[in-house]
Amino acid sequence: MSQPGQGHRSSISQNSRSASQFPNDSEELTDTELVKQVNDLKHQIKILNLENEIIERTIMRLEPALMHGVQQALEYATKLQSSSSLNVGSFLKSQTSRFGFDSLMSPSRMLTSPSKISTRRVESSAKIGGTVIFGSGPRINVLERSELVITEMEILIDFLEKVRSKAAKQHALLKAQLEEIGVRVVDIEKATEMFNQQVIIEGWDKIAQRIPAEIWIRFMTEWVKMADSKIGKLRLRTSTLNTQYGKLKGQIKVKAELSESLRPVDFDKLKIENDECTKIIDQKIQQLGELKKMTGDANLTLAVHKKALMEQNTYLNDVLKTIKTKIKQTAELDKEKNVIQIQADSLAQKLEDVRKVRQAYEVPDIMDYVQVKAEVTDLKHSVKLLENRVHIQQIALTSLNKKLQTMFLNN
């Protein structure tokens, strides 16, 4: 290797935590060893990048003024590295002394930190900076590294929780907006369908070939009434939700105040009260079990009495039906009785008349009857003879009329 490369390697080997892993320049490396060395260097570079990122975040959080000029120095060092890698170490030393990196090593600067914890973390970061950049100074141990990592992880977790909460609120807001837009779209589609059906289709006047203004005005009036009713309902619902929100907000405020004023004694008191309440609940559960047993017995007795009552009700319904039937039959019998009474009265009257006739009737003599019968027979015979005589005379009259007609016709 070239001489500048050897100088750069020697400066890095002084700062590296695993300088023994690099072989001497006189040794020749095989391909496997070279690949392994490159992989190890990549892994170390990745770890160093993570450590630098954590230290930079810690410094920016605790004392941002310490990072002034670092970015310019790193950019300038990157530009010079391509032309002269030999002067990187001296350039970094001069740039750090120019931009105030010596303040990282001075303990007087650490005294201006807001707390002991921040002072210790800045000192740790200063130690790391001295170790990595200058190649000298104390190194941070594993505990300090883990403390820095845990602190940054906690900060990052808090930040992620805040972002998650904010994203959840934004998601809920967007979901509510989407629901509102969906409701608006549905209302617009319904209003459009109603307008097309009532105004354009049904309101078209075939004779005048136009839509009358009265239909349009009536549709708009009805639509405005519907909108006013919906607005009233939404206002009532909004007022209800606002009232519930105020109540919940007040409850949350009261709970927050109570949580601030709570003491361990309060928890002990609450535990004692909970134990007493648990005992009371156990007693109430036992009483509830006994009440359930009593309720079961009462239900059984009630079922028996209910069954008997149902039978009595059935018998009562049968009796009531029989009574109604008997009442109907009685009414019919009364009607028949009245009819029979009328018939009996009329028959009694007829019987009385017959009795009177019978009492007043006298049986005639047989000879009188025979004489009357003989007279009737003679009269019938005389009537028959007279009828025959009339018939003969009619025949003679008919013949005479014919003769007269013939005589008139001959003349």
> Helix and strand tally (H, E) in the chain?
11, 0
**Mean pLDDT along residues 205-217:** 81
How many Cβ atoms sit within 10 Å of the Cβ of residue 21? Answer: 13
Q: CA–CA distance from 295 to each of 305, 307, 309, 385 (Å)?
A: 15, 18, 20, 115
**Per-residue pLDDT at 139:** 64
Tokens describing residue 320? 């009531």
Residues in contact with 111: Cβ distance below 8 Å, sequence separation at least 6, in sequence order: 119
Residue 262 has pLDDT above 60, yes or no: yes
Written as one string, the DSSP assignment of 109-127 is HHTTSSSHHHHHHHHHHHH
Higher pLDDT, 83 or 342: 342
**Residues 149 and 54: beta-carbon distance below 8 Å:** yes
Core vs surface per residue 278-301: b (16+ CB within 10 A) or e: eeeeeeeeeeeeeeeeeeeeeeee
How many residues appear in the chain? 411
| 335-364 average pLDDT score | 87
Report the 10 Å Cβ neighbour count for 62: 17
Confidence class of residue 320 from pLDDT cuts 50, 70 and 90? very high
Residue with tokens 């040794």: 27
Three-state DSSP class for 317? Answer: helix
d(CA 339, CA 347): 12
28 compared with 274, residue with greater pLDDT = 274
pTM equals 0.37
What's the pLDDT at 362? 72
* pLDDT confidence of residue 83: 60
Please report, for the chain, the start and end positions of each structural domain, with discontinuous segments joined by +: 3-140, 165-261, 269-362, 365-411
User: Distance (Å, rounded) from C-alpha 196 to C-alpha 189?
Assistant: 10
HSE toward the beta carbon, residue 77, CA cutoff 13 A: 18
- Per-residue pLDDT tens digits for 136-159: 445 667 788 888 888 888 888 999
Is the predicted pLDDT of residue 307 greater than 90, yes or no? yes
Q: Which contacts (CB < 8 Å, 24+ apart) does range 240-249 have?
A: none
Residue 191 has a CB neighbour count (10 Å cut-off) of 14
Span 87-104, average pLDDT: 42
Tell me how far the alpha carbon of residue 250 is from its chain's centroid: 27
What is the average pLDDT across 106-110?
Answer: 35
Q: What CA–CA distances, in Å, run from 372 to 94, 375, 381, 385?
A: 187, 5, 14, 20
Neighbours of 91 (CB within 10 A): 16
What is the residue type of 296? G
Cβ contact 139:128 at 8 Å: yes
CB atoms closer than 10 angstroms to residue 15: 16
